[in-house]
């Protein structure tokens, strides 16, 4: 232990005040994000709890470094080694794992445009069954185990922090306490902590930057991701320069070497916590404005909206009343006539493609139902399908299509779960969860007497193909109005979030094309 006392000068007071103020700001903003992350789409897709867990670990390291100037002389000589060997790698690992979610979401949203839904792509391995968060925790956990083992090994074999055991010749050099402390902060024992920092900052981060270069989202997530990647690049080089370049000794007296890493952590917290807070406040203000505009237009006569070709409707609206395109009637017309442009925008730009895909899937399922006004009854006795009347295959085809809508967009295991109120979700969950678990193998000990254990072709339409179907008892609560509340809820969510952005972008694109055409002429 050091015999010197803590440093209590003006700079120590500054660092202490900085710790109190910055911690108060980040904790308050983190609480704001947690309060709204379930109801705000741009926070929900980011998986804010994982990002905040990473920032919490990094912030603990940041606090210890900021206080290091003042209390460093009275701290145990090996404290910095253990803090930097555990808190920093774990925090960085969790953070860049959560940072990678941006690319994961972008890739999976793109699949809504290029591939069939999840039910046509069975998950074969345990790794594929894990969510993005599960994969991050598993990978980072494995890395942390390796990191701790290496950190302990380095501590055991080196005599820098203990003189009675270890490899001879590795003890700290110097005749005074300050000289020994100076030597303890350098050497091969620190390589594992530097190695992981370099991996994240100079390999993982550049890969994220490169793969993000063509993504243009509407939520500020790309800016956040790229800012976090750039924020870490200087940390390790400057830390090494501060340790090994003699000219930096004067700087180290007031700004200790680990503070270069702490500086990157502050930048990371700005982009990960403060920027999403700003985006959330801006999003809520814009949404309030959109809702007010919708309310004004929905109360006007239908003559303000004349259904026509989808693209022409949006295009011509720039020369007419702009608010008419912000009505529910305009959105429903696009969904019925040509939803593809809206799906492309929502998936590639707004990262909410599951909402449009859900609405189009429900519309397709409803088109399969018998004539309007007819109440369906699906309480079919349990017996072999061959013994049932010829209409049974059509009945089961309708139910299996609805079951796929549930597994793709509503089930908790869906890659992108639509955001429904708990009352609506519980109703759909009660109808579909047992059949979904039976078909997709998530329920152990399923009753094989109520299902086919081999694929069977569904003759109702060609889109069904040949794959395993549910043939058990159809729940009594299943009817043609089952998705009505969910559909209305998601439509309103799209209208107040994605639709206004889509209309705005279409108008900007048209204006740009017209400007280019005039310039050519």
User: pLDDT (tens digit, 9 = 90+) per residue, 318-352?
Assistant: 444 445 677 788 888 899 999 999 999 999 998 99
Confidence of residue 461 (pLDDT cuts 50, 70, 90): very low
Residue 403 in contact with residue 436, Cβ under 8 Å?
yes
Q: Would you tell me the crossing angle of helices 275-298 and 10-36 to the nearest 10 degrees?
A: 30
181: its two tokens: 């402390």
Q: What is the pLDDT of residues 489-501, one digit of tens each?
A: 999 999 988 888 8
d(CA 264, CA 420): 38
CA distances (Å), 475 to each of 62, 73, 211, 428, 456, in order?
55, 70, 46, 11, 21
Per-residue pLDDT at 463: 42
201-210, 217-226, 390-399: segment of lowest average pLDDT: 390-399
Residue 397 in contact with residue 370, Cβ under 8 Å?
no
Confidence of residue 390 (pLDDT cuts 50, 70, 90): very low
Confidence of residue 389 (pLDDT cuts 50, 70, 90): very low
Nearest-CA neighbor of 304 among 282, 285, 326?
326
Q: Which residue has the higher pLDDT, 262 or 74?
A: 262
For the segment 292-297, the average pLDDT, to the nearest whole number, is 72
Confidence of residue 417 (pLDDT cuts 50, 70, 90): confident
d(CA 81, CA 441): 47
pLDDT at 189 over 70: yes
Tokens 């900052």 -> residue: 201
∠ CA 347-350-354, rounded to 5°: 45
Q: What's the chain's average pLDDT?
A: 78
d(CA 17, CA 24): 11
Q: Which residue has the higher pLDDT, 344 or 509?
A: 344
153: its two tokens: 């090994």
Tokens 């952590």 -> residue: 265
Confidence of residue 460 (pLDDT cuts 50, 70, 90): very low
Per-residue pLDDT at 142: 85
Q: Which residue has the higher pLDDT, 277 or 166?
A: 277
Say what the alpha-carbon torsion angle 27, 32, 37, 38 is, to the nearest 10 degrees: 120
For the segment 36-56, the average pLDDT, to the nearest whole number, is 88
Q: Would you tell me the crossing angle of helices 484-496 and 353-368 to the nearest 10 degrees?
A: 150
Distance of CA 114 to the CA centre of its chain: 21
Per-residue pLDDT at 93: 83
327: its two tokens: 């009505």
Q: What is the pTM of this model?
A: 0.77
d(CA 98, CA 112): 22
Per-residue pLDDT at 483: 92
d(CA 395, CA 403): 12
* H helical segments located in 369-483: 392-405, 422-440
């Amino acid at each position: 232990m050091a015999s010197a006392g803590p440093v209590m000068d003006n700079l120590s007071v500054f660092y202490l005040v900085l710790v109190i103020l910055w911690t108060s700001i980040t904790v308050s903003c983190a609480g704001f994000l947690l309060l709204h992350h379930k109801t705000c789409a741009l926070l929900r897709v980011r998986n804010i709890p994982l990002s905040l867990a990473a920032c919490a670990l990094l912030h603990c390291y940041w606090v210890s470094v900021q206080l290091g100037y003042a209390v460093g002389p009275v701290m145990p000589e090996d404290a910095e080694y253990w803090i930097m060997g555990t808190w920093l790698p774990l925090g960085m690992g969790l953070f860049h794992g959560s940072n990678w979610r941006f690319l994961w979401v972008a890739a999976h949203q793109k699949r809504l445009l290029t591939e069939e839904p999840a039910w046509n792509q069975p998950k074969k391995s345990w790794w594929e069954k894990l969510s993005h968060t599960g994969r991050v925790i598993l990978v980072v956990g494995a890395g942390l185990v390796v990191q701790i083992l290496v950190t302990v090994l380095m501590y055991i074999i080196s005599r820098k922090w203990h003189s009675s055991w270890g490899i001879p010749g590795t003890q700290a050099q110097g005749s005074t306490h300050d000289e020994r402390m100076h030597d303890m902060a350098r050497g091969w024992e620190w390589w594992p902590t530097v190695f992981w920092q370099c991996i994240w900052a100079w390999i993982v981060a550049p890969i994220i930057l490169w793969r993000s270069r063509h993504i243009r989202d509407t939520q500020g997530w790309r800016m956040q991701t790229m800012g976090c990647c750039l924020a870490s690049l200087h940390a390790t080089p400057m830390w090494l320069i501060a340790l090994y370049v003699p000219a930096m000794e004067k700087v180290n007296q007031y700004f200790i070497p680990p503070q270069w890493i702490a500086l990157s952590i502050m930048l990371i917290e700005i982009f990960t916590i403060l920027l999403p807070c700003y985006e959330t406040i801006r999003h809520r203000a814009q949404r309030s404005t959109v809702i007010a505009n919708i309310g004004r237009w929905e109360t006007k006569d239908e003559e303000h909206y004349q259904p026509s070709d989808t693209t022409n409707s949006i295009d011509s609206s720039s020369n007419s009343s702009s608010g008419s395109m912000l009505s529910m009637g305009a959105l429903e017309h696009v969904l019925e006539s040509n939803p593809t442009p809206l799906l492309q925008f929502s998936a590639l730009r707004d990262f909410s493609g599951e909402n449009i895909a859900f609405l189009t899937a429900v519309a397709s399922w409803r088109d399969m139902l018998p004539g309007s006004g007819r109440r369906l009854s699906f309480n079919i006795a349990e017996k072999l399908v061959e013994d049932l009347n010829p209409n049974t295959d059509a009945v089961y085809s309708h139910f299996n299509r609805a079951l796929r809508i549930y597994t793709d967009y509503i089930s908790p295991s869906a890659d992108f779960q639509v955001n429904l109120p708990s009352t609506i979700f519980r109703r759909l969950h009660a109808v579909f969860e047992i059949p979904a678990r039976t078909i997709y193998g998530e329920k152990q000990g399923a009753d094989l007497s109520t299902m086919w254990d081999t694929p069977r072709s569904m003759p109702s339409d060609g889109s069904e193909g040949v794959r395993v179907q549910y043939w058990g008892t159809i729940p009594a609560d299943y009817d043609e109005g089952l998705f009505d509340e969910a559909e209305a809820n998601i439509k309103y969510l799209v209208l107040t979030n994605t639709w206004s952005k889509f209309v705005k972008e279409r108008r900007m694109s048209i204006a740009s094309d017209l400007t280019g055409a005039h310039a050519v002429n």
